[in-house]
Amino acid sequence: MKGLKVFGNENALRIFSLMLGLGAWEIASRMSNTPLVPGPQRVLTTLVRAFSTEGIPNDPTQALGGALLSAFVPMFVAYILATVTGISLGILMGINRKMERLLDPFINALYAAPISALVPVMIFWFGLGFTARVVVIYLFAVFVIIVNTLQGVKHTPGDFVELARSFGASRRYIISHIVIPNAIPYIMVGLRLGIGRAVRGVVVSELIISVTGIGIIISNYSAFFRIDGILAVAVAIMIVGMLLTGLVVLLENLLAPWKKKGTAFQE
């Protein structure tokens, strides 16, 4: 934007600030000398050690790597389900007014409501295993995808549709050649927001259903007053979450490089 020098200076400032912050945190934790304020160095070593089972107190069956993997498998299933059903429902609602009116009371309500409140209900219905997690994560992710797809379909420029119609295009042609391509950037925004929500869904379901995986690792650390462990798990989840979001953004730029700005529908 403003040349390499300015860019370098700004990032230098960021790095300086981070070093200052981490340094202050490290010093503060060493001075306070309680396990309640672990420094960054301890968190990092704990994070590394958590990937082998000896690093985690109370000898769980899984190390952090396996726990992350088993947490993110239901996420992939749920996210793919949410993508497929969310996009199709959004398009259906967008091209059919009656369908929209029939469904939008439920979708708007569930979109605005805190889904986490439903986790205990889902435990009741689906138990503590794979299915419950998939359902919770699906509910976290699907509504933002529906709402964004719907917005995209509804924002089809009327001029294009009229033009196509006056040249005798069929409804099907208009939908497949104008409506859907126009909606793709919006859909991609929905998918990006959806992956963020899905990651949150993973964390919430893991913590509330804390019988296996990440949840049990965190509660083991808690039981031993190991705040460094809790922070380490949070850092690990954060890194995985950022990688996943980055992947979707990459996909977004690949599939819908046009109209990147200004298309976003706010949450």
Partner 1 sequence: MESPGITLIGQRRSWDQTVGTWFKAFWHENTLRFLAVGSAIVVWWAASSMMPEHYAVFLPGPQRVFAAIVEAFQTEGLGEALLGALLPMLTGYFLAIAMGIPLGIIMGVSRKIECFIDPYVNGLYVAPLTALIPAMIFWFGVGFQMRATVAFLFSVFFIIINTLQGTKHTPNDFVELARSFGASPFYIFRKIVIPYAIPYIMVGVRLAMGRAIVGIVIAELLISVTGIGEIIATFSSAFRLDGVLGVALVIMTGGILLTGLVQWLENLIAPWKKREAAFEE
Q: Give the binding site for partner 1 (CB under 8 A).
A: 10-11, 13-14, 16-18, 21, 36, 98, 101-106, 109, 112-114, 116-121, 123-125, 144, 189, 193, 196, 199-200, 203-204, 207-208, 214, 218-219, 221-222, 225, 227, 230-231, 233-234, 237-238, 241-242, 245, 262, 264-267
Contact 156, 146 (CB under 8 A): no
Question: Based on CB atoms, which residue is closest to partner 1, 173 or 225?
Answer: 225
Question: Based on CB atoms, which residue is closest to partner 1, 179 or 201?
Answer: 201
Question: Based on CB atoms, which residue is closest to partner 1, 15 or 48?
Answer: 15
Q: Please list, in sequence order, all residues whose beta carbon lies within 8 angstroms of the beta carbon of residue 250, skipping any fewer than 6 positions away.
A: none
Rounded CA separation 103/150 (Å): 12
Question: Based on CB atoms, which residue is closest to partner 1, 178 or 206?
Answer: 206
Q: Min. distance of Cβ 80 from partner 1 in angstroms?
A: 21
Rounded CA separation 118/143 (Å): 15
Pick from 133, 228, 245: which is nearest to 189 by CA?
245
Question: Based on CB atoms, which residue is closest to partner 1, 180 or 204?
Answer: 204
Rounded CA separation 213/209 (Å): 9
Q: Min. distance of Cβ 260 from partner 1 in angstroms?
A: 12
Q: Min. distance of Cβ 173 from partner 1 in angstroms?
A: 28
Q: Min. distance of Cβ 34 from partner 1 in angstroms?
A: 10
CB atoms within 10 A of CB 161: 17
3-class SS string, 17-44: HHHHHHHHHHHHHHHHCCCCCCCHHHHH
